Amino acid sequence: MPKQVLILMSDTGGGHRSAAEAIAEGLEHIGPGEFDVQLLDFIADGTPFPLNRAGRLYRPTVNYSGPLWGWFWCMSDHQRRMGLLLNLLVPWVRSRLVQVLRQAKLQAIVSVHPLINHLAVQAVRGLDKPMPVITVVTDLVRAHVSWFCPDVDLCIVPGDAVREKALACNLSPQKIKVVGLPVGLEFGRHLEVKSELKEKLGLKPDLPALLLVGGGEGMGKVFRIARAIAQARLPGQLLVVAGRNEPMRRRLENVDWEIPTNIFGFVDNMPQLMAASEVIITKAGPATISEAMACGLPIIISGAIPYQEDLNVAYVVENGVGCLAEQPRGIANLLREWLQPGNEELSRMARNARCLAKPAATLEVARLIADLC
């Protein structure tokens, strides 16, 4: 029988789900048919009302109250304060999660969300059969203390900065593995000539493709940036991914665009879109940054969640993978400069991105999980 693996995630932003799906893909790749992987949105499906509605508040909170969210993130990034909060939450939701877990015969539980690690350990203690609990940290540089529960069996982290935070939170060094951030295996695999890939996607093969995204939730100033690029009449074509933000997608579709423009909602072909593009404009989400680097794609960071993502910006800029430009007109001006004939900046950043990427991370994460099943 296939080994049952449950991945606990939440649709608070797109990065947690994309990491979970990448891990599932990695497990199938290393052992075809050996694993039955299920994804559970633990907030929506594993907590009682009204907590199960909390995930819906993430996008509007970050979009319209970013500084307040950053303050809360910073203030709660403290072991004692987080411990007090968890002591309030765990008794409230533990029994519901135990009930959910008992319905499946599991070999392992994997967490890709910071709020579930301590709860998962507590829930496993309420089951008849012990099983490993594995944390896969999906924050790239700065990680919240809630990621780190000393009682998990394994904690997989993307880099040395997060490893240091794990050690400071009393995790045993033997439980920490520095691997990288898991991304879908298709990222970086599309090696066709860009013009040929553009044709397959129904794009104009002779025009640079400018990919504009706002994460899975369509956050940030996507509409304003798209209009600034189009109104600047840059020598390229615009690909705008609105994610789950349906009102913004409809608004974008009602525009009479000045340059060739393609509007998408939530997509399942992001690896192809990235591979066909010359540059990506995105907020500083760790998943999108890691996916772009795997594709050798230069990055313009258009914004970041205060405190939570600001070190991601430094990571991109200091490693020569991209630039920070938060104002729509500034983004358009930067693109105009990069698209000038003879400008080698995009080529230089693309090379740096490929050097910094960790394309083997997903399969290594999968192997570490499989070893504990």
pLDDT at 126 over 80: no
Question: Which residues are CB-neighbours of 197 under 8 A, at least 6 positions away?
Answer: 190, 272, 275, 276
Rounded mean pLDDT, 28-52: 83
One domain, residues 159 and 32: yes
Tell me the mean pLDDT in the region 365-369.
Answer: 97
165 with 221, same domain: the answer is no
Q: Are residues 120 and 66 part of one domain?
A: yes
157 is a domain residue: yes
Comparison of pLDDT for 94 and 31, the residue scoring more? 31
Residue 340 lies in a domain: yes
Q: Is residue 122 part of a domain?
A: yes
Q: What is the mean pLDDT of residues 121-127?
A: 83
What are 70-93's pLDDT values in tens digits? Answer: 888 888 888 888 888 777 777 777
On whether the CB atoms of residues 17 and 360 are closer than 8 A, the answer is: no
Q: Are residues 245 and 295 in the same domain?
A: yes
List phi, psi (to 5°) of 226. Answer: -60, -45
Do 157 and 243 lie in one domain? The reply is: no
Percent of the chain beyond pLDDT 90? Answer: 66
Point out the least confidently predicted range of 2-16, 30-44, 286-300, 317-331. 2-16
Q: Does residue 348 sit in the same domain as residue 269? A: yes
Q: Is the pLDDT of residue 68 over 90?
A: no
In the prediction, which pLDDT does 96 show? 74
CA 127 to chain CA mean position, Å: 31
138 and 206 assigned to the same domain: no
**What pLDDT was estimated at residue 80?**
86
Q: What is the CATH number of the domain that holds 341?
A: 3.40.50.2000
Pick from 88, 6, 99: which is nearest to 51 by CA? 88
Whether residue 188 lies inside any domain: the answer is no
pLDDT at 154 over 70: yes
Q: In total, how many domains does the chain have?
A: 2
Q: What's the average model confidence in pLDDT over 123-151?
A: 91
Do 34 and 117 lie in one domain? The reply is yes
Mean pLDDT of the chain: 90
Rounded to whole angstroms, the Cα distance separating 165 from 68 reads 24
Q: Is the pLDDT of residue 316 over 90?
A: yes
Query: Does 208 sit behind a cis peptide bond, omega within 30 degrees of 0 on the bond before it?
Result: no
Statement: residue 172 has pLDDT above 90? yes
186 within domain boundaries: no
48 versus 317: the higher-pLDDT residue is: 317
Residue 148 confidence (pLDDT) above 80? yes
Calculated CA dihedral for residues 338, 340, 342, 345, nearest 10 degrees? 0
Q: Is 189 a domain residue?
A: no
Task: Write down the pLDDT at residue 137.
Answer: 97
Percent of the chain with pLDDT over 70: 93
**Tens of pLDDT along 204-231?**
999 999 999 987 666 778 999 999 999 9
pLDDT tens digits along 224-279: 999 999 999 999 999 999 988 899 999 999 999 999 999 999 898 999 999 999 99
Of 255, 250, 216, residue with least CA distance to 238: 255
Look up residue 289 and give its two tokens: 């940054």
pLDDT at 297 over 90: yes
Whether residue 249 is contained in a domain is answered as: yes
Q: Is position 187 within any domain?
A: no
Range of the domain at 111: 3-181+360-372
pLDDT at 53 > cutoff 70: no
For residues 326 and 302, is the Cβ–Cβ distance under 8 A? yes
131 and 14 in one domain? Answer: yes
With cut-offs at 50, 70 and 90, classify the pLDDT of residue 359: confident
User: What is the reported pLDDT for 76?
Assistant: 86
pLDDT on residue 57: 64
67 and 92 inside one domain: yes
